Amino acid sequence: MKKTTIIRFLAITTILYFGLNLIVYYRWEYRNNKIEKELLQKYDTNGDGSFSMEESNPELNESQRELSKDTARGLAPFTLIPISLILGLIVTLIYNFLAKSKKTLMY
């Protein structure tokens, strides 16, 4: 492999990795904000924007527990490494194939 191919592969993989992590982060923030707004509308009986002890009930506690689960987001940086490597390899191979076929068509 050429040095430029390796550098291109690493650049593509790095961009994919950070891009996918950004997608996961913003998706998670959107989900949490949406669920939090739904919880406030449903269980905030006095309309102060927070939950007091008087408003506490088992359904609210279960919903808050569900909201705080972040195992998927916590593991995303690790699980996206192989995905980024595979996608980076595929993109690099396609790019090299197209570049070679373009060179052969020119000659």
Chain segment 69-98, per-residue pLDDT in tens: 777 778 888 999 999 999 999 999 999 899
- Indicate whether 107 belongs to any domain: no
Q: What is the pLDDT of residues 23-69, one digit of tens each?
A: 999 988 888 888 777 776 777 677 776 666 777 777 777 777 777 77
Query: Using the 8-state DSSP alphabet, how is residue 57 labeled?
Result: -
Nearest-angstrom CA–CA distance, 32 and 73: 12
Residue 24 maps to a domain:
yes
Mention every residue, 6+ apart, whose C-beta is less than 8 A from residue 55.
43, 44, 45, 46
Q: Helices 58-68 and 3-43: crossing angle, nearest 10°?
A: 170
**Would residue 87 count as lying in a domain?**
yes
Q: Is residue 18 part of a domain?
A: yes
Residues spanned by the domain of 65: 3-102
Q: Looking at the domain assignment, is residue 64 inside a domain? A: yes
Per the structure, the count of domains in the chain is 1
Axis crossing angle, helix 71-106 with helix 3-43, rounded to the nearest 10: 140
Instruction: Say if 84 falls within a structural domain.
Output: yes
